[in-house]
Amino acid sequence: MSVPWGELIVQRAGELWTRTGQHLFLTGAATGAAVLLGVPAGILCSRFRKLRGAVMSFASIVQTIPSLAMLAILLGLFGMIGAVPAIIALTLYALLPIIRNTLTGLEGVAEGVIEAARGVGMTRRQQLWLVKIPLAISISMASSTLSMARLVALISGWRALSAFSRTSSGSSSANA
């Protein structure tokens, strides 16, 4: 016998709100951490070309690891499935688009604009903070939006896997 969707939502409204809050927390924490790590990494890559290869390679390699494998790696490191391993994994997955788009935004600033900044006597630091970053923000924000969309999909998959593991182990109250 099937329960109508409306009735099911009303019956489980508390759990629905709890899971929605957990989902938003994981997405926000991972995106925030990725922005805090990825934007400075992109700035460093634009300033130090030798660093670019290593940083972009690391972020690209992490991006190719399947989410199930990443979950297994973090399960081995932390001994649990939960918020901390999920935030770490999701942060790692979100780094590549943020670093790449920060770098692209900074390198996309027209040479004439940079020359004008030099012409008025701005130091390299002033050029970065007063000219390059404000002009590159729109591209960097687009990468944050893309990263959040990808994280939402990954969290949904991990939640399903976590629910499956709770069901198979016989435990129904584990917090993932």
What digits encode the pLDDT tens for the residues 108-140? 899 999 999 999 999 999 999 999 999 888 766
Confidence of residue 171 (pLDDT cuts 50, 70, 90): very low
Do 89 and 82 contact (CB within 8 A), yes or no?
A: no
| Residue 55 CA to its chain's centroid (Å) | 16
| Residue 7 CA to its chain's centroid (Å) | 35
Confidence of residue 16 (pLDDT cuts 50, 70, 90): confident
Q: How many domains does the chain have?
A: 1
Backbone angles phi, psi at 133, to 5 degrees: -65, -45
**1 lies in a domain?**
no
**28 lies in a domain?**
yes
Torsion over CA: 116, 119, 124, 125 (sign): negative
Confidence of residue 4 (pLDDT cuts 50, 70, 90): confident
**171 lies in a domain?**
no
| Residue 42 CA to its chain's centroid (Å) | 14
Give residue-wise pLDDT tens across range 48-63: 999 999 999 999 999 9
Give residue-wise pLDDT tens across range 132-168: 999 888 766 765 666 667 677 777 666 665 665 555 5
**4 lies in a domain?**
no
Domain assignment of residue 83, given as a range = 23-166
- Residue 55 sits in a domain whose CATH number is 1.10.3720.10
Do 102 and 140 contact (CB within 8 A), yes or no?
A: yes
Give residue-wise pLDDT tens across range 49-107: 999 999 999 999 999 999 889 989 999 999 988 889 989 999 999 999 999 999 999 99
Q: Does the pLDDT value for residue 19 go beyond 60? A: yes
Percent of residues in the chain assigned helix, strand, coil, to nearest 5 = 85, 0, 15
3-state class (DSSP) for residue 78 = helix
